[in-house]
Amino acid sequence: MARSQEKLGELVEIELKDIDRSFQISPERVRRIALEIPGIDVKVETRKSRGKRPDKCPVCSKELDSLYAENLDGERIQVGFKCSSCGYRGEIEEFDPMRYEFVLTKG
Ligand SMILES: [Zn+2]
């Protein structure tokens, strides 16, 4: 088990290097692998979007939690949402995943 995870980690690292250089490998594929490895955190940058708000996390398809803030009138308004499962976090008008950052965490 530990051995196979280690192997998978190496694989992803190799693939990430390839992506940096040439985009030959689908980022989608690497992302999916990376999300399943405990030693890798996935951070997601978002961009402006005109589409409909996602019901589920566009990265890992898990439920999204709403983020709220108070406006000047003291009203609670939704300002965005975040995934409880991966590193995805979006704003009301800016939620299309644009760039993924993979952070190797030790331990
Ligand atoms: Zn997610």
Distance from Cα 79 to the centre of ligand 1, integer Å:
18
Q: Which domain holds residue 30?
A: 2-104
In terms of pTM, does the model score above 0.75? no
Total domains present in the chain = 1
Question: Are residues 95 and 71 in contact, defined by beta-carbon separation less than 8 angstroms?
Answer: no
Which protein residues have a CB closer than 5 Å to ligand 1 (ion)? 57, 59-60, 62, 83, 85-86, 88
Say how many C-beta atoms besides its own lie within 10 A of residue 45's C-beta. 14
Q: If you write DSSP's letter for every residue of 41-75 in order, what string do you get?
A: EEEEEEE---SPPPSB-TTT--BEEEEEEE-TTS-
List the pLDDT tens digit at each of the 107 positions of the chain: 445 656 666 666 666 666 555 545 566 777 788 888 888 888 888 999 888 888 899 888 899 999 999 999 999 999 999 998 888 899 989 999 888 888 888 65
Distance from Cα 57 to the centre of ligand 1, integer Å:
5
